[in-house]
Structure 1
Amino acid sequence: MKFSLNPVLYLLLIPVLCNPLWAFQSEDLTPEFGFTAGIEGPAVDKEGVLYAVNYQEEGTVGRVDEDGNAEVFLKLPEGSIGNGIRFDRDGNMYIADYAGHKVYRVSPGSNTPEVYAEGPEMNQPNDLAISDTGVIYLSDPNWAEGTGNLWMVPRAGELVLLESDMGTTNGIEVSPDGKSLYVNESEQRKVWKYDIQHDGRVNNKKLLISFEDHGLDGMRCDAKGNLLITRYGKGTVVLVSPKGKVKREIRLKGKKPSNLAFGGRDGKTVYVTLADRGCVEKIRLPHKGSYYSKIH
């Protein structure tokens, strides 16, 4: 039997078939407004459990199961509010405290945060990334002045300034091979790439990509080295190649994605925190997350 498609229907389907925004559909993991507008820092532990800051109230860290059921995992000390979260290979959780100018560590099996590093000279530690050698990198924006710094914490209690007077530093990530550090500037809409040296310091700063409009927020790499960036205000996640070329852009339900993390049973589910909806959306991608692959 010969099948022919109505020409009008074919024309209507062309945008759907060709536009990468339609290639991957976002769906809700958690109900709207279970988290505050400060929802941020999604991260997945070795058991595949998702965590994000500011569940129900500011200053908390929420824990979310695969069905989207959430509960308060811990409360930070008075005066502290979390932003970025990461896990190391030993299962330690690290939380960037932008209000208290600290980085907390929570040991496996515990829900008691302990100060790992602090510095009153920081603006507000925002997001963090961890290298293969355990070095922590911190973005440190000054939103009022449109500037920012880049720090590293090579070990507990030691804070090293890598670069000052940048733009509003925000999303930060280490490449899968451990050789490059990516840092974005939200208001300037630029993503920078550095070479990581043996001592953890960085050099050879290069512009990877810049955007014409909308802000940049959290970033994660997949196992192939592609960089996923949340476009705050645009309501998308953009997939950028290691060469700095846009490969795909995925539309979300909300307009203010603040950060993202890989998880799920196969590491190919991306959890995105939405500030305007106070919830977590999820999308499926072809490749596992880079850091997810290393800790699982």
Structure 2
Amino acid sequence: MSCFAGAVTPTPVSNATGASVPTATGTNLNLATNAFGAAIEGVGVDKGGDVFAVDFEGGGRPPSSSFGFFYQTGSGTKNPLLINGIRFTKDETTVLLADAANSRVLRVTKNGTKTDIDIFCTDPRILQPNDIALSTKKDSLIFLSGRNFTADTIAGVSGDLWTCEAGKATQFDPAILAAADIHRTNGIETSPDGKFLYLSSAKNVGGKVVSNQIFKFSLDQHTGHLLKQKPTLFYDFVDSPATDIDGMRADVAGNLFVTRNGDGKVVKISPDGKLLAEIVLRGMGGPSSLELGGCDGSTLFAVGKCADNATIGCAASFKTDSVGKAFSILQKS
């Protein structure tokens, strides 16, 4: 079986410092127009490398109420099948769903032909949640980001960060977020060594987005929990401050793949905060989420609104040189 791959066309471009970084082009997967709606988001990978997304057959239905896979390892099909779930755990029968409408995370468990759904954690103060990051230390520990999009965002108020474990949701101190000038939070991911958590922040002033940054939080090496410390600035998109960060995923080497929603691209950032590459996604106007999957876990899949029709969802792929962190963890289960 060969792994699905995207086209590679290296071309040097300049980043904010003037340094040259390679750029490449992903492959449009040409999903059926009725496959996913415009709310396509929340990409997740299972142990087999199959890749899933939110808003399956979303046209005419409430957004993000259903799920399906758009890439099936083995057959390489691009026709999605209906399935419940989006963020897979080490237990192959269990997935976690961020329920942004009800301030909770749902746990969906498949028992033969029966599907059980219960609440993994909830708190009415949670903003959304927007996305989920899994701990590399504990199977029962996850992290949540959330945001409130307003014309003028407020640090420590317009975005938040939560930990969920054993049914309990705990908010990270908003005062620490405020001190770090963290506004709308969205993309969230943990490093493969379990030492850090990455969180994006976007700031609005007068209805305009004026900054997009990624912050790095320290994690306790024994418990996996967030340390009550001020985070450090990991990366600042000074060259494109108005382009929102959305999904973030790490590979096993600790590199971050970050979607630039509205720019039609994904960027790759090294563990020491250097821009390594830009991946242009054909046919996609605003990539919202991404994951590394495929049969060997090294194909980057991204989803978002189509460039020529913002009412439907598109997907693109690109063959990378490293395995995804989530895929790697699932192989050890």
Q: Please give the range of the TM-score, normalised by the shorter of the 2 chains.
A: 0.7 to 0.9
- 1:5 aligned partner: none
Deviates more, 1:105-114 or 1:52-61: 105-114
- 1:173 aligned partner: 189
AA of the residue aligned to 2:273: G
What does the per-residue CA deviation read over 1:164-203, in whole Å, with 9 as the maximum and x for residues that have no partner?
2531110100101011100011443110001101331233
1:104 matches 2:120: no
- 2:142 aligned partner: 136
How many residues were matched structurally? Answer: 272
- 1:122 aligned partner: 126
- 1:221 aligned partner: 250
Deviates more, 1:18-27 or 1:88-97: 18-27
Q: 1:289 and 1:238 mapped to 2: Cα distance?
A: 15
Taking a change above 3 Å as real, the CA distance of residues 271 and 111 of structure 1, as seen in their structure-2 partners, is farther
- 2:46 aligned partner: 45
Cα deviation, residue 69, structure 1: 1.4
Maintained 8 Å contact 1:33/1:279: no
Q: 2:79 and 2:123 mapped to 1: Cα distance?
A: 35
- 1:252 aligned partner: 281
AA of the residue aligned to 1:141: R
Q: 1:167 and 1:153 mapped to 2: Cα distance?
A: 21
Query: Kindly, what percent of the aligned residue pairs are identical?
Result: 32
Which structure carries more relative contact order (alpha carbon 8 Å, separation 6+)? 2
CA RMSD of aligned residues (A): 2.1
Cα deviation, residue 46, structure 1: 1.4
Maintained 8 Å contact 1:93/1:106: yes
Q: 2:50 and 2:115 mapped to 1: Cα distance?
A: 14
Maintained 8 Å contact 2:247/2:290: yes
Maintained 8 Å contact 2:26/2:316: no
Cα deviation, residue 222, structure 1: 0.9
TM-score by length of structure 1 reads: 0.85
Maintained 8 Å contact 2:269/2:277: yes
Q: SS state of the match for residue 23, structure 1?
A: strand
Q: 1:108 and 1:63 mapped to 2: Cα distance?
A: 16
Point out where structure 1 has 5 or more consecutive residues left out of the alignment: 1-14, 75-81
TM-score by length of structure 2 reads: 0.76
Q: SS state of the match for residue 294, structure 1?
A: helix
AA of the residue aligned to 1:223: V
Question: Which of 266, 269, 279 is the equivalent residue of 2:299?
Answer: 269
1:73 matches 2:66: no
Q: 1:291 and 1:237 mapped to 2: Cα distance?
A: 18
Point out where structure 2 has 5 or more consecutive residues left out of the alignment: 1-8, 14-20, 204-210
1:194 matches 2:210: no
Q: SS state of the match for residue 143, structure 1?
A: coil
Q: SS state of the match for residue 26, structure 1?
A: strand
Question: Which of 76, 93, 97 is the equivalent residue of 1:95?
Answer: 97
Question: Which of 246, 258, 268 is the equivalent residue of 1:239?
Answer: 268
- 1:148 aligned partner: 159
AA of the residue aligned to 1:68: K
Question: Which of 170, 175, 182 is the equivalent residue of 1:160?
Answer: 170
What does the per-residue CA deviation read over 1:200-256, in whole Å, with 9 as the maximum and x for residues that have no partner?
123351000011321100000011110000001111100001111100001012120
